[in-house]
Amino acid sequence: MHFSGGINRPPYEKTDGYLQTTEGCSHNHCLFCTYFKKQKFRKSTIEEIEADIKEIPQYFGTPKRIFLQGADGFAADYDVLMKTAELLHKYVPSVETISGYARIDNFYDKTEEQLRNMASVGFSDPYIGVESGDDVVLKRINKGYTSAQAREQLEKINACLSSSIF
Ligand code: SF4
């Protein structure tokens, strides 16, 4: 598998299968975070993703859920994410949902219709560390977006991509 960093997931995602659609962090400038400082951000090719998906049964058995690796696997392009879901359902039919860490700006380039399409193929409930709703704090920690931008994207995500599975 093309894992370029350590496995990175919340404790309650321990039974998932893991898959890398991006490596590193697309932002990598938060003042408090050194997690991906030594890693350059890169989007995986669909060839890499397909090769890894074919290996999932060997390493993870028959997972119901896939947790995307890296800081923000949702930074992958919409077409790549949709193709990823198609390949997952083809090679790992046990998969029902796909999640992972994400940043607010991962969703700037994804329309509501696209998010609904993503939900229909299993994407749900991205984990987003917004950190604060205070613009002074967001600027001070160099989070890379304002509270208004966060709110706009979160409302879009809640309406189109969240499934309340927890
Ligand atoms: S977006 Fe997340 S992983 Fe990236 S620098 Fe900020 S806190 Fe770290």
Looking at residues 24-49, what average pLDDT do you find? 96
* Residue whose CA lies nearest to ligand 1 atom number 2: 71
Answer whether 126's CB lies under 8 Å from 101's CB. yes
CA distances from 8 to 77, 86, 101, 105 (A): 21, 24, 9, 20
Asked if the model's pLDDT at residue 158 lies above 90, the reply is yes
Query: Does the beta carbon of 130 lie inside 6 Å of ligand 1?
Result: no
Residue 25 is assigned to a structural domain of this protein: yes
How many domains does one find in the chain? 1
Asked if the model's pLDDT at residue 93 lies above 50, the reply is yes
Answer whether 142's CB lies under 8 Å from 25's CB. no
pLDDT at 82: 98
Helix H or strand E segment including 65: strand 65-68
pLDDT at 163: 61
Helices 147-160 and 112-120 sit at what angle, rounded to 10 degrees? 40
**Which of 29, 33, 72, 140 has the most ligand 1 atoms within 8 A of CB, as the residue to mutate?**
33
pLDDT-derived band of residue 166, with 50, 70 and 90 as boundaries?
very low
The three-state secondary structure class of 89 is helix
**Could you tell me the CATH number of the domain that includes residue 92?**
3.80.30.20
Query: Which has more pLDDT, 34 or 162?
Result: 34
In 3D, which of 58, 59, 85 has the Cα closest to residue 74?
Answer: 85
Query: Does the beta carbon of 4 lie inside 6 Å of ligand 1?
Result: no
Looking at residues 112-141, what average pLDDT do you find? 96
**Which of 8, 26, 29, 30 has the most ligand 1 atoms within 8 A of CB, as the residue to mutate?**
30
Residue 147 is assigned to a structural domain of this protein: yes
Query: Token digits for 45?
Result: 């090719």
pLDDT at 165: 45
Residue 4 is assigned to a structural domain of this protein: no
Looking at residues 39-46, what average pLDDT do you find? 96
Residue 3 is assigned to a structural domain of this protein: no
DSSP string, 9-43: --GGGTTSEEE-SEES-SS---TT--TTTTS--EE
Structural domain that includes position 149:
11-160
Query: Does the beta carbon of 33 lie inside 6 Å of ligand 1?
Result: yes
